[in-house]
Amino acid sequence: MGGAYLQPPDPHSHSHKASSKKPGCFLSKTTCAWLACGFLSLALLHLLCCSPAGSQRAALSPLLQYINNTYSFVSTVPGPGPPVEVEEEERSSCNYAVGKWVWAPGHARRYNATECNVKESHDCIRNGRPDTGYLDWRWQPADGCPLPAFDAAAFLSAVRGKHVAFVGDSMARNQAQSLICLLSAAFPYRLLYRDSGPGPRKHNFWRYAFPAYDVKVSFYWTPFLLRATGKSEDESVRDNHVHLDALGDRWAADADTIDVAVLAAAHWLLNGAIYYNGSRMVGAHGYPELNVTGVGYAWPLRVAYRAAVDRLSAAGGRPRTVVLATFSPSHFEGKPTNDPTACAKTEPYKDGESDMEWMYREVRDVVYDEANAARARATSGNGSSASATRVEVLDVSKLASMRPDGHPGLYMHDHPFANGAPPEGMYSDCLHFCLPGPVDTFNEILLQILRKRR
Ligand SMILES: *[C@@H]1O[C@H](CO)[C@@H](O)[C@H](O)[C@H]1NC(C)=O
Ligand SMILES: *[C@@H]1O[C@H](CO)[C@@H](O)[C@H](O)[C@H]1NC(C)=O
Ligand SMILES: *[C@@H]1O[C@H](CO)[C@@H](O)[C@H](O)[C@H]1NC(C)=O
Ligand SMILES: *[C@@H]1O[C@H](CO)[C@@H](O)[C@H](O)[C@H]1NC(C)=O
Ligand SMILES: *[C@@H]1O[C@H](CO)[C@@H](O)[C@H](O)[C@H]1NC(C)=O
């Protein structure tokens, strides 16, 4: 692997891809939006535990203003179109990354999230969300390419005898919990372990078994993929300390047992962290007050994905599939996280209604670059173990960006309107998806990736 690649970017070189995107709103529109986006997510992640209402607001407002001014959102949403027939024929290759949401009554009404133990804040139906139209859409890939509805038996036979592990942040967990729900609605399961602990921690490390197919599905909370201490372990801590030379301990210890790995990380890197190599601090993102190199988020994200894929490629000749998921953006749309109208939409965007692509393209490029680099290493390498690993991209950015209606919003809380208006300063979750909801589509595409011949 290229040594130069693993060095932090020179902050004075404007030719370097990552270093030319230094933080600072005078530099680039994209950088600024990312920063704002990152702070929004950070605020959201923070509030999920223990932030006093409104405490983040003052610091956020200039950035929110920026996004608000950069974007104009069309407020009129046309009604749903006519049903579209699903093509059943097999296609040799489909691009699931592009397409549109089409009206398909009942398509996403496939399980009761209370029965599959999802995180309470994603169980929108239990929390009293009154509208259900967000469950009536399916993703139609471009060029008439078929994307079949999720089929639990097909999924389990595609991974028979295998260990499927989701590794990453809360979007990885969102997808992992969706998969458990989709599978357990059709097949018996056993909970093998789930970490105990206060509040959200009980959702951070768990494993289910589906004995009929000898399949295991795990989730490893590792929002940087790498070893990290601080906020990602304890919400009451402000900072993230991330070790570029080591992977997250728990998943790395199990890496040899994983047959299918789904990796998703980015939100926490956008939010900022202090990075170390061994005991040496090599840089930071989002800490202008520290006198260290600003490394941005793209470079550490590349280091993290590369280290993770290398680790999964190294383990003993086992044929393995590594799936890198792209960024799933939030939909605060320039509103504060405690604005009750944030992500209150009840239908997807229409084509062209909101182009969020510039917001997620940079992170998506990192994912594609790392997937391509890993494939190149595998085919040029001499070892048989490297070439036994298949690397795929699960590109959900476009389909996720078109679903402002699929988030819990205020329904991350139990019956937020129980006493009339929601309490002052109540937060909305415009980042994760309701379960059931649009994130089930991530698993429909994952199934097609796993069924594809190597
Ligand atoms: C960490 O430092 C070692 C030794 O200087 C170097 O070989 C390696 O590339 C560095 N790793 C990163 C991620 O910068
Ligand atoms: C967003 O823009 C609208 C209209 O341009 C304005 O009324 C509103 O106050 C802005 N919101 C924020 C958070 O700046
Ligand atoms: C979901 O399951 C729970 C627990 O079994 C039950 O109380 C609830 O009524 C169910 N919800 C729906 C919408 O069926
Ligand atoms: C920051 O670091 C540079 C180079 O190490 C040093 O020259 C400078 O004095 C430092 N500034 C502060 C405020 O510590
Ligand atoms: C492959 O092996 C040959 C001979 O052992 C060696 O010369 C070459 O550098 C190796 N290539 C790679 C990519 O490791």
Closest CA to 168 of 266, 84, 42, 85: 266
Judge whether 171 and 432 are in contact, CB under 8 Å.
Answer: yes
Tokens in use for 326? 């792209």
Per-residue pLDDT at 319: 86
pLDDT digits (tens, 9 = 90+) for 87-99: 444 445 899 999 9
Nearest ligand to the CA of 281 is 1
Greater model confidence, 421 or 87 = 421
Which residues line ligand 3 at a C-beta cut-off of 6 Å?
112, 114-115, 125
Nearest ligand to the CA of 387 is 5
Per-residue pLDDT at 360: 83
Residue 56 domain boundaries: 39-74
pLDDT digits (tens, 9 = 90+) for 203-250: 999 999 999 999 999 999 999 999 999 999 888 899 999 999 999 999
- Nearest ligand 5 atom, CA 382: 1
**Whether 54 and 165 share a structural domain:** no
User: 257 in a domain, yes or no?
Assistant: yes
- Is the minimum distance from the CB of 196 to ligand 5 under 6 angstroms? no
User: 19 in a domain, yes or no?
Assistant: no
Give the mean pLDDT of 394-398: 95
Residues with Cβ < 8 Å from 65, sequence gap 6 or more?
334
Per-residue pLDDT at 198: 62
Give the mean pLDDT of 149-169: 97
The neighbour count for residue 262, using CB atoms within 10 Å, is 27
Residues with Cβ < 8 Å from 55, sequence gap 6 or more?
none
**Whether 47 and 160 share a structural domain:** no
**Whether 48 and 173 share a structural domain:** no
If one counts the domains in the chain, the total is 2
pLDDT at residue 115 tops 70: yes
- Is the minimum distance from the CB of 379 to ligand 5 under 6 angstroms? no
pLDDT digits (tens, 9 = 90+) for 267-283: 999 989 999 999 999 99
Distance of CA 61 from the midpoint of ligand 4 (Å):
30
| Active-site amino acid positions | 170, 429, 432
User: 92 in a domain, yes or no?
Assistant: no
pLDDT at residue 104 tops 60: yes
Per-residue pLDDT at 454: 55
User: 93 in a domain, yes or no?
Assistant: no
Conformation bin of residue 317: beta by default, left when phi > 0, alpha when psi is -120 to 50: left
Give the mean pLDDT of 395-407: 95
Tell me the best of 377, 379, 382 to mutate to test the pocket of ligand 5, counting ligand atoms within 8 Å of each CB and taking the most.
382
User: 4 in a domain, yes or no?
Assistant: no
Tokens in use for 406? 């699929």
**Whether 55 and 138 share a structural domain:** no
- Distance CA(24)–CA(44), nearest Å, equals 22
pLDDT at residue 20 tops 80: no
Helices (H), 145-287: 152-158, 170-184, 249-254, 267-271
Residue 410, strand partner residues: none
Show the beta-strand stretches assigned E in 113-202.
137-141, 163-168, 190-194
User: 79 in a domain, yes or no?
Assistant: no
pLDDT bracket for residue 197 (50, 70, 90): low
Share the mean pLDDT of the chain: 81
pLDDT at residue 289 tops 70: yes
